[in-house]
Amino acid sequence: MLRIERRSLPLEFSPEEASRAILGAVRKSFTPYITSVRNDYWSRLDMSVSEEPPSFVSDPDEHRRLFGDIPRISGGDLFLSKTKDILYYKVPKDQGIVEAGYVGKEKTDEFELFCQTIKEAVSSRKSDVDWTPLVSVSRNIDLLDERSEHLTPTREQFLAALELEKELAHRVMGKISRSESVFLSSLGGEQEQEAIQKLLAGLEKIGLITKDYVVLCRLKGQQIMRVGSRSYIDEASQKMGFKCPHCGKSPLEENIDELLITTEFGRTVMAHNYWMPVRAIAALTSLGISGAEIWVDRATSPGASTLFFKLNHELCLVQLTNQKFELKDAYLVGANIAAYSIHAAILVSTQKISHLMRSFLVESNSGCSIHFIEEFSNLENNIETIFRARQQEEIITIINDFNSLTPVNVQELIVNRILPPREGKLREASPAADKPAVRTGKGKARTTPEDKARAQQSETSSPEQDSSEGVAQEGVEVGS
């Protein structure tokens, strides 16, 4: 996943002055993308290159009517780092700050140099202002160190969790661990026996279970032999002549079953579903989240665990359970969201979460983004999909403000090129000037009081003025 860092710095003077000062300082070490492209547009339109966009209409209401909303920022630009990541700054018009940020794979020293250059451009030497995160993590994060723990799973535990993420695996292993040992014949029906046999081989290989072979008397149903290998039964029957003490039959003629036993390692992994937070930690760390920024609370409820982790200065939550999600679980999630100002919560369950429960969780936690995953398989991809969508939204939010600074929407540039403002004075908004002629009948314009006033003024004007006004009036009629 991408790293997104956003900082803010208080300004000591106006946004317009700050924008000019920052661009002048930053462009000495970094190439501004928007400014470079905009200058290229202007030069191709034979316009003089300027540091600021041209202003055709000075009145805000008139500008909005012609060209859309007025930009929310006084200035800003995008920059590519040496590693092709994005650096940016922007100066909102009404917040008294400059925002700087980084979007990329791994933060580098370039971003620190970028922020330092901006700070030096807009702060006096005696100033003690400094950068702060634009999005602050909950102040209650210190409580996590008291109430939660940092887990450091072993490689063997990670491998076990990967095996147990399969629905059949954690169901079968759960049954074995609850009874310490079970007979193979008691696990599943005949249709599942082939899959179960294959599964048990995998569980035994990674050390979660061991197995013995047990011979049971067909007549009495009592155990007459228990060995660690099937070959011992063959040897006892054929070479040693062992017979059942109850019915006198050879062990090969009796019922032979496999006894599955949970190992010490298996008990550790299955205790309170320890494998679930291990599996989630494996998924999060594979996505670039440090284990030092993952807190685990396994005391939430029996068989459930809650993981808290930081993602780009946001505190997020993953709730894990292998039981039916009930109202008490929803209240617990809501309490954690409120206590720690959680920005996003992911609920991972081995069982389906009802639509009613989903609606309740979403509606009762409106300030938090709630997501649901109903399987542990492919957990990395499922979590990444959720956070890629969140990061896309955040990037769009960041970049949206730059639309007003780019030449993609060229209406104002074209108007300014072919119908420039009068020299020395910008066109002022005037309701009368913008009011179209009122037409009656077929193509005839009805004379308004404003028209009469202009006509009287025209009669007293000089010949040059008559000619100029005539051209202007003709232009309006042609464009109508």
- The predicted pLDDT at position 306 comes to 94
Is 277 in the same domain as 367?
yes
- The predicted pLDDT at position 401 comes to 85
Identity at 124, one-letter amino acid code = S
- The predicted pLDDT at position 278 comes to 97
Is 243 in the same domain as 359?
no
Is 220 in the same domain as 234?
yes
Q: Say if residues 115 and 7 touch (Cβ distance below 8 Å).
A: yes
- The predicted pLDDT at position 134 comes to 86
Measured distance CA(386)–CA(311) in Å, rounded: 13
pLDDT at 294 over 90: yes
Which of residues 245, 269, 293 is at a domain's end?
269
pLDDT at 53 over 70: no
Residues 6+ apart with CB under 8 A from 252: 233, 234, 237
Counting residues of the chain whose pLDDT is more than 70, the rounded percentage is 79
User: pLDDT digits over 200-231, tens only?
Assistant: 999 999 999 999 999 999 888 888 899 888 88
Measured distance CA(334)–CA(91) in Å, rounded: 36
Residues 6+ apart with CB under 8 A from 27: 35
Residues 6+ apart with CB under 8 A from 283: 379, 380, 383
- The predicted pLDDT at position 303 comes to 77
Give domain status of residue 409, yes or no: no
Is 320 in the same domain as 283?
yes
Mean pLDDT of 75-83: 88
Report the DSSP beta bridge partners of residue 211: 260
% helix / strand / coil in the chain, to the nearest 5?
Answer: 45, 20, 30
pLDDT at 51 over 50: no
Is 148 in the same domain as 275?
yes
- Model confidence at 416, in pLDDT bands (50, 70, 90)? low
Closest CA to 45 of 53, 59, 69: 53
How many domains does one find in the chain? 4
- The predicted pLDDT at position 425 comes to 42
Mean pLDDT of the chain: 81
Give domain status of residue 94, yes or no: yes
Report the DSSP beta bridge partners of residue 99: 8, 90
Q: Say if residues 115 and 130 touch (Cβ distance below 8 Å).
A: no
Closest CA to 479 of 421, 427, 434: 434
Give domain status of residue 147, yes or no: yes
pLDDT at 332 over 60: yes
Q: Say if residues 425 and 56 touch (Cβ distance below 8 Å).
A: no
pLDDT at 360 over 80: yes
pLDDT at 123 over 80: yes
- The predicted pLDDT at position 58 comes to 60
Which of residues 246, 269, 292 is at a domain's end?
269
What is the CATH number for 50?
3.30.310.200
- The predicted pLDDT at position 469 comes to 38
Give domain status of residue 57, yes or no: yes
More confident residue, 106 or 284: 284
Give domain status of residue 226, yes or no: yes
pLDDT at 14 over 50: yes
Mean pLDDT of 421-449: 44
Counting residues of the chain whose pLDDT is more than 90, the rounded percentage is 40
Is 127 in the same domain as 184?
no
Phi, psi of 292 (to 5 degrees): -70, -15
pLDDT at 420 over 80: no
Identity at 454, one-letter amino acid code = R
Q: Say if residues 116 and 293 touch (Cβ distance below 8 Å).
A: no
Tokens linked to 295: 């807190």
Give the H or E element holding residue 200.
helix 193-205
Tokens linked to 397: 């939010």
pLDDT at 429 over 90: no
DSSP string computed for 44-105: HTT----SS---SB-SHHHHHHHH-SPPSEEEEEEEE-TTS-EEEEEEESSSSEEEEEEEES
- The predicted pLDDT at position 311 comes to 86
Give domain status of residue 35, yes or no: yes
- The predicted pLDDT at position 157 comes to 97
Is 50 in the same domain as 96?
yes
Which of residues 269, 294, 316 is at a domain's end?
269
Dihedral, CA of residue 327, residue 329, residue 332 and residue 334, to nearest 10: -60
- Model confidence at 164, in pLDDT bands (50, 70, 90)? very high
Is 318 in the same domain as 371?
yes
- The predicted pLDDT at position 182 comes to 92
- The predicted pLDDT at position 49 comes to 60
- The predicted pLDDT at position 186 comes to 87
CA 422 to chain centre: 49
Give domain status of residue 213, yes or no: yes
Report the DSSP beta bridge partners of residue 369: 344
- Model confidence at 441, in pLDDT bands (50, 70, 90)? very low
Is 283 in the same domain as 182?
no
Mean pLDDT of 26-55: 76
- The predicted pLDDT at position 238 comes to 82
Is 197 in the same domain as 241?
yes
Long-range contacts of 147-150 (CB under 8 A, 24+ apart): 147/297, 148/295, 148/296, 148/297, 148/308, 149/295, 149/296, 149/297, 149/298, 150/291, 150/292, 150/294, 150/295, 150/296
- The predicted pLDDT at position 333 comes to 94
Q: Which residue range is the domain that position 452 belongs to? A: 435-480
Is 120 in the same domain as 201?
no
Give domain status of residue 395, yes or no: no
- The predicted pLDDT at position 144 comes to 86
Is 195 in the same domain as 277?
no
Phi, psi of 361 (to 5 degrees): -65, -45
- The predicted pLDDT at position 393 comes to 86
